Amino acid sequence: MEIASWNVNSVKARLSAITTWLDEAKPDIVCLQETKTVDAGFPLEAFEERGYNVAVHGQKSYNGVALLSKYPFEEINARLPGDEDDPQARYLEAVIAGQNGPVRVASIYLPNGNPTQNPDGEPGHHPKYAYKLAWMERLRVHTARLLKFEEPLILAGDYNVIPTKDDVYDAALWADNALFLPQTHAAFNALKWLGLTSAYEQVDGRPHQYTYWDFQGGAWPKNHGIRIDHLLLSGQAADQLKAVRIDSHVRGRERPSDHVPIIGQFEL
């Protein structure tokens, strides 16, 4: 079973890029982020005609997550618990009926968190960075509950976290960025220390393999990338992980997203 994660930066603008890749890669499950549409505007047919069940959780203009699955959904939960008033569509979780039993998969669009400093120079964090850290803590608390099911769990998405200096083309340029600050690393580690394994690090782990290249400044031709899209796995999922790949070639195509798909291959 192949499970992919891809921040597509608008599902409508990227529909042709997505279907081209689906027809080549034929993943079983895909977690999409930054779909940027309300659910009524989601192009369901393009995916249904390729044999995918589709679950969506979107909003107007920004954010938005979705799940595509060749296997049936047994249960679907939108929204990350911990703040009932949070209007941002960044979390969609489903239990999927795999061939060897259920698999729980979540599509995650973790907040970017920039800017980090208050604009008035007052001490403390900008509300955008505070929201990121609070969201990461909500994810940690929710994940602790999910791990009690002791089932294959795959938390896949755009984490907006650069795990180490070897996951960015020039760490010094990112030192003060919300994707790389010590508190961001601390929150990411607190999540992983619940007992999650990062799929890429388990089976590959080469430095300087990126999943995102900015649209600005010729980042793609210069390979000025960062690795911020991750598959975090419970032990039951990690035990079945065979391979991981990053389909970086799609970044060089017509009207690309700024992110590329990361795909885990599992015996599930």
Binding site for DNA (CB under 7 A): 9-10, 12-13, 36-37, 60-63, 111-112, 114, 128, 215-218, 255
Please state the closest distance from residue 14 (CB atom) to DNA, in A: 7
Nearer to DNA, 60 or 208 (CB): 60
Task: Report how far Cα 6 is from the mean position of its chain's Cα atoms.
Answer: 7
CB of 129 to DNA, least distance (A): 10
Question: What CA–CA distance (Å, rounded) separates 8 from 31?
Answer: 10
At how many degrees (to 10) do helices 182-192 and 127-147 cross? 10
For residues 77 and 114, which CB has a smaller minimum distance to DNA in the complex?
114
Cβ proximity to DNA: between 128 and 245 the closer is 128
What is the closest distance, in whole angstroms, from the C-beta atom of residue 69 to DNA in the complex? 23
Q: Closest approach of Cβ 20 to DNA, in Å? A: 14
Residue closer to DNA (CB basis): 10 or 248 = 10
Nearest distance from C-beta of residue 233 to DNA, angstroms? 24
**Which run of H or E residues covers position 191?**
helix 182-192
Nearer to DNA, 70 or 224 (CB): 224
Q: Beta strands 101-109 and 153-158: pairing type?
A: parallel
- CB of 58 closer than 8 Å to CB of 32: no
199 closest CA partner among 242, 249, 159, 144: 242
Between residues 70 and 128, which has the closer beta carbon with respect to DNA?
Answer: 128
CA distance 7 to 152: 23
For residue 178, the minimal CB distance to DNA (Å) is: 9
Q: Which residues contact 80 (CB under 8 A, 6 or more apart)?
A: 86, 90, 91, 135, 138, 139, 142
